[in-house]
Amino acid sequence: MNSVNFYQGQSRFLIAVDCVILGFIGNEIKLLTFRRKIEPNQGGLSLLGGFMSDNEDIDQAASRVVKNLTGLENVYMDQVAAYGKINRDPGERVISVAYYALINIDDYKNSIIADSGAKWVNLERIDELIFDHKQMVCDAIVKLRRQAALFPIGFNLLPERFTLTQLQMLYESIYGEKLDKRNFRKKILGMGILERLDEKDKINSKRGAYYFVFNKEKYHRMLEKGFVFAI
């Protein structure tokens, strides 16, 4: 068979990326949403998305979409899945690849946001999302939970310096359940991948809570020796 003919006889499709952009705000995981600017479903609550171009990998397309909107680069992103139901986009057939992105809210505040109507919403509001975006968010959360339990990716949602209370509330928000303070601290400090600073956060308490930083280099050195992160 002639390969040129074979390839050319096939249908071609629009490919989109949709980004489940998550931030940790007010001690809760929130989702960055938009009001859709085009028909169909103009004005509907939507994930941030965009079409893939010829000159980029899918991963690059997802990064570009996040960067164009938030101004942020080097954002931690991971693919969730491909969504390909025939009528998932009522406008026209579009196959979409969903990604989740973990952004540090401090970086976000410092970045320049285009006139976008972007809005952080609680995860309880995902029922309002258009198309199959709700499914994408659910799948993203499932994947995030699994990954966050096995790899130290949660730190991407926190500022450089954070308190153990903040860190605990982050994990509580990811897992959707309360954790025991003493057990949590024992476990995370026992791993030896956090460094305590001398400075304290005096904003959230009178006594003040020590700041910690995640020691990435130490973590990677420990990885080589078979260490596995688990929280």
* Residues near DNA, by CB under 7 A: 163-165, 180-183, 185-187, 200, 202, 204-210, 230
Judged by beta carbon, residue 49 or residue 154, the one nearer DNA is 154
Whether the CB-CB separation of 92 and 14 falls below 8 Å is answered with yes
Residue 222: CB minimum distance to DNA, A: 15
- What would the two tokens of residue 54 be? 């010829």
- DSSP category for residue 162: B
Judged by beta carbon, residue 115 or residue 198, the one nearer DNA is 198
Alpha-carbon distance 111 to 101, whole Å? 16
Identify the CA nearest to 18 among candidates 58, 57, 53, 56: 58
Judged by beta carbon, residue 14 or residue 197, the one nearer DNA is 197
222 belongs to the binding site for its own copies (CB under 8 A): no
Task: Enumerate residues 142-161 that contact its own copies by CB under 8 A.
Answer: 146
Of the candidate spans 31-39, 63-71, 120-128, 203-211, the one that interacts with its own copies by CB under 8 A turns out to be 31-39
Residue 136: CB minimum distance to DNA, A: 29
> What is the DSSP secondary-structure string of 88-155?
SSSSS-EEEEEEEEEE-HHHHHHSPPPS---EEEEGGGGGGB-TTHHHHHHHHHHHHHHHHHHSS-GG
- What would the two tokens of residue 73 be? 């680069």
Residue 192: CB minimum distance to DNA, A: 14
Kindly tell me which residue out of 27, 53, 122, 205 binds its own copies, with binding defined by CB under 8 A: 53
230 belongs to the binding site for its own copies (CB under 8 A): no
228 binds, among DNA, its own copies, none (CB under 5 to 8 A by kind): none
Judged by beta carbon, residue 85 or residue 186, the one nearer DNA is 186
> What distances in angstroms separate CA 25 from CA 8, 109, 122, 204, one per listed residue?
49, 11, 10, 14
**Strand, helix or coil for residue 216:** helix
- What would the two tokens of residue 219 be? 């973590």
97 belongs to the binding site for its own copies (CB under 8 A): yes
183 belongs to the binding site for its own copies (CB under 8 A): no
14 binds, among DNA, its own copies, none (CB under 5 to 8 A by kind): its own copies
Alpha-carbon distance 136 to 144, whole Å? 12
The footprint of its own copies (CB under 8 A) covers 1-3, 6-7, 10-15, 37-40, 42, 51-59, 61, 79, 81-86, 91-95, 97, 146
